[in-house]
Amino acid sequence: MKYPVTPDGRYFVVRGRLWRCSNPGLPADRREELTHTLMEARRDKGRAMRAGDEEGRERARQRVDAAKKALGERGPVWWTDGAQDWNRHLAKNTPYADWFAAQPGRD
């Protein structure tokens, strides 16, 4: 992966912000299917936006959200130890701050 991943595998970091990784417990074929669905929905959303189709954009946005929830990137967390979700937080403001500060070439 081109972005650093936290030692626990829960997040990757882009421009200093944590983003939740997909659930590693998903079977590979299911992950592939959901990723395909997500990418298709993102393409449809872009087309709808360029066409000024608000209804199409909203339908595609809902499909993006559903795919991301199924992948574990949104919605309830996929881990079971009760740890807080730090999705979308700046790494420097989370328990991952020291780890992030030690990353070479961090962004």
What pLDDT does residue 106 have? 66
Q: For 44-84, how does the pLDDT look when each residue is reduced to its tens digit (9 = 90+)? A: 999 999 999 999 999 999 999 999 999 999 999 999 999 99
Kindly list the domain boundaries of the chain, sorted by start residue: 1-21+85-107, 27-72
Is residue 90 over pLDDT 60?
A: yes
- For residue 105, the model assigns a pLDDT of 76
As to burial, measured by CB atoms within 10 angstroms (0-12 exposed, 13-18 middle, 19+ buried), residue 20 is buried
The pLDDT value given to residue 2: 85
pLDDT digits (tens, 9 = 90+) for 7-43: 999 999 999 999 999 999 999 999 999 999 999 999 9
Q: At what angle do helices 54-71 and 28-51 cross, to 10 degrees?
A: 160
Q: What confidence score (pLDDT) does residue 104 get?
A: 85
